[in-house]
């Protein structure tokens, strides 16, 4: 089973990396970009056969390590 975790900064948290990308895109001639939010995608290969147990474990991983839940939100997809 595979899990995909998408971690993004919460709304209202400044994203200096995203702003740097937006600025660089403007410098390359892409003027239509108003804002950029940068995040990370983490893929996990799991040995679980129970989808609910897999999702519970991955959410626990996010809460303990993969996301800084003070400033980041995350989404878990189990495939």
Q: What is the pLDDT of residue 7?
A: 98
Q: What is the pLDDT of residue 79?
A: 92
Average pLDDT, the chain: 97
Q: What is the pLDDT of residues 26-48, one digit of tens each?
A: 999 999 999 999 999 999 999 99
Q: What is the pLDDT of residue 56?
A: 98
Q: What is the pLDDT of residue 29?
A: 97
Contacts by 38-43 with C-beta closer than 8 Å and gap 24+?
38/9, 39/6, 39/7, 39/8, 39/9, 39/72, 40/6, 40/7, 41/4, 41/5, 41/6, 41/7, 42/4, 42/5, 42/7, 42/66, 43/2, 43/3, 43/4, 43/5
Q: Which domains does the chain have, with CATH numbers?
A: 2-78 (3.30.1280.10)
Task: Taking residues 55-73, report their average pLDDT.
Answer: 98
Beta strands across the sheet bearing 72-78: 39-45, 2-9, 72-78
């Amino acid at each position: 089973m595979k899990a995909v975790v998408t971690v993004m900064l919460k709304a209202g948290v400044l994203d200096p990396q995203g702003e740097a990308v937006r600025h660089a895109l403007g410098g390359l001639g892409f003027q239509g970009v108003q804002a950029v939010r940068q995040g990370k995608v983490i893929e996990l290969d799991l040995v679980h056969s129970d989808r609910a147990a897999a999702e519970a474990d991955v959410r626990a991983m996010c809460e303990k390590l993969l996301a800084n839940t003070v400033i980041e939100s995350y989404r878990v997809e189990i495939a």
